[in-house]
Amino acid sequence: MSSGYYFSLTYDLTLSKAKHLQKKPTETRFQWNHELYRDFIKFNIDQAWMVSLIQGHIGYFASTIASDRVDFFLISRRSCLNSGTRYYARGKHLFQERMLRIISYIGLDDDANVANFVETEQIFFFRDKCCSHVQVRGSAPVFWRQKGIQAQIKLDRTFALTNHLFLKHMQFLNETYGYVICINLMAKSKKEEQMITEAFETHIRANVLNETGYEYFDFHRHVGNQKFENTNPLIDKLFPALDSLGFTIENLQNGTLELSQSGICILKQDFSLETIIGVLRTNCLDCLDRTNFIQGKVGMAAFALGLERLGIALKDIIGREPYEELDNANIKIQNSLIVNFKNLWADNGDALSIHYTGTGSVISEVTRLGKRSFFGLIDHGLKTINRYYNGSFEDKLKQDCLDFLLAKHAGAVTNSK
């Protein structure tokens, strides 16, 4: 707990800006010290005495656009409902296996919570407005795990035993965020990733999901030979939806809510996007490296669209689409706002990865610099080795500590007996 935990005495960090404006109560799924307050809650102690602790990352920079100051915040909140490290199963039912050092990982649990679910919010203040945009990430909502030294992937449950929990998870997203489009970045060239993708898509096809869309993008195939700019067609495809989606916009002069992030999406038979979305839900295998890279580009597109609504054309200032400028590796001639934005999202990717795997993101250099160097390739390899070591030797203790903090440990021990 030496890093990656945040609290504020004046601002409930579990809530997005929109929920603050709507006077919503604390989001306990993001409150990592919720169990420590259980006696306060039992005796109805005023919430003012309870300071929420989140796990994730918070970053900030200030810059200038059109001679006016912009203050930009990035807040990531990881859910504590299906919490844990990369290779260890969450919840009580597999605690005994974990005690026997059987490495296992579940994408979905029996309460329809997915692993590594993170809500990431961009907030920027410009002139007399405060704008917020939210994205989410999370494991593919099917039952799968990795076991053994080679971390082989296995699907744990049949379609029939999974579907009701898949639907419960999607319903939760719709009720919480509105219309949702799922962006799946897993590789078809990797048999085990394709296995999860096929299971995911089978559930989407088999159900009437009027409030959910799906977009498949084989990240590894498109960025082969380090061509990370080949991800831009995906952002191009999503751009009209983001444009209609909008922001949560607060008028700072009177504290009123001027606009909410909302929309409509219809899934067609060929899985193409027909209309508008409310929130993007992105996943790869672990929802770390590929996911953070794509979310950063979506974040820049959304940031530019938010500024455009406030009368500033960032594209004209920079000279091309801002999310395309993220690929520019010549930092010396880049607008300082772009450089700060890239560093902020790279820091976000590193922080979320450290909690989950024990190392920073394997492609944070690409997010930060716009390219991968020879030393970046070496760093990728070293981090991969370190992740394997952590999963094999270090993560058990970390998992037990997290379970203890979240009051899962005692129940798990009782259950294992």
Q: Give one DSSP letter per residue of 364-406, joined into a string.
A: HHHHHHSS--HHHHHHHHHHHHHHHHIIIIIHHHHHHHHHHHT
How many CB atoms sit inside 10 A of residue 269's CB?
A: 6
Nearest to residue 209, comparing CAs of 158, 168, 237, 160?
168
How many CB atoms sit inside 10 A of residue 273's CB?
A: 18
What is the mean pLDDT of the segment spanning 284-288?
93
Q: Which range (11-15, 109-113, 411-415) has the least confidence?
A: 411-415
Cα distances (Å, whole numbers) of residue 109 to 14, 149, 190 = 22, 23, 24
- Whether residue 378 is predicted with pLDDT greater than 90 in this model: the reply is no
- pLDDT confidence of 96, banded at 50, 70, 90? very low
Q: Which range (33-37, 91-95, 240-244, 409-413) has the least confidence?
A: 91-95
Exposure letters 221-255 (e unless 16+ CB within 10 A, then b): ebbeeeebeebbebbeebbebbeebbbbbbeeeee
Write down the pLDDT at residue 191: 92
Write down the pLDDT at residue 221: 95
Nearest to residue 320, comparing CAs of 301, 342, 306?
301
Which sequence spans correspond to the domains of the chain?
58-416
How many CB atoms sit inside 10 A of residue 78's CB?
A: 25
pLDDT digits (tens, 9 = 90+) for 205-262: 999 998 898 999 999 999 988 899 999 999 999 988 787 766 889 999 998 888 777 6
More confident residue, 278 or 341: 341
More confident residue, 148 or 44: 44
Helix or strand holding residue 60 (H, E) = strand 54-65
What is the mean pLDDT of the segment spanning 97-126?
78
More confident residue, 6 or 102: 6
**CA–CA separation, 21 and 130 (whole Å):** 11
Write down the pLDDT at residue 262: 64
- Whether residue 267 is predicted with pLDDT greater than 60 in this model: the reply is no
- Whether residue 188 is predicted with pLDDT greater than 50 in this model: the reply is yes
- Whether residue 148 is predicted with pLDDT greater than 70 in this model: the reply is no
What is the mean pLDDT of the segment spanning 175-184?
91
Write down the pLDDT at residue 363: 82
Q: Which two tokens stand for residue 333?
A: 């001639």
Question: Phi then psi for 256, rounded to 5 degrees?
Answer: -95, 155
- pLDDT confidence of 154, banded at 50, 70, 90? confident
- Whether residue 348 is predicted with pLDDT greater than 70 in this model: the reply is yes
Write down the pLDDT at residue 390: 64
Nearest to residue 65, comparing CAs of 126, 136, 139?
126
User: Cβ distance 160 to 199 under 8 Å?
Assistant: no
Write down the pLDDT at residue 184: 98
Write down the pLDDT at residue 158: 94
What is the mean pLDDT of the segment spanning 161-172?
96
User: With 0-12 CB in 10 A as exposed, 13-18 as middle and 19+ as buried, what is 160?
Assistant: exposed
Three-state SS annotation for 398-410: HHHHHHHHCCCHH
How many CB atoms sit inside 10 A of residue 121's CB?
A: 22
3 three-class SS: coil
- pLDDT confidence of 92, banded at 50, 70, 90? very low
**CA–CA separation, 258 and 249 (whole Å):** 5
